[in-house]
Structure 1
Amino acid sequence: ADWETPSKTKWSLLMEDIFGKETPSGVTMVFLQLVPSMSHSPGH
């Protein structure tokens, strides 16, 4: 996986792969909010 350039589209597809096509939009939004903090963690 390319962790350097996370995008909403890529993460939306990733969430679909993990949770299935029925992923609630709320769940997706939570992950989209968490992604920036993970990808920009200190020492990366």
Structure 2
Amino acid sequence: MKTVMLWMFRARSRRALAELPPYILKDIGLSTYDAEREAERPFWR
């Protein structure tokens, strides 16, 4: 059960990251490339 919750958290977080506009990504120190790359990772990794 703990693993499933972790996977759900990762999937939700990566979707949210993918939706952030470039100016917010810049504020947190990420490029759009970094955000896209992270969002494309499978939830189990």
Q: TM (normalized to structure 1)?
A: 0.37
- Considering fraction of residues, name the structure with more helix: 2
Larger Rg: 2
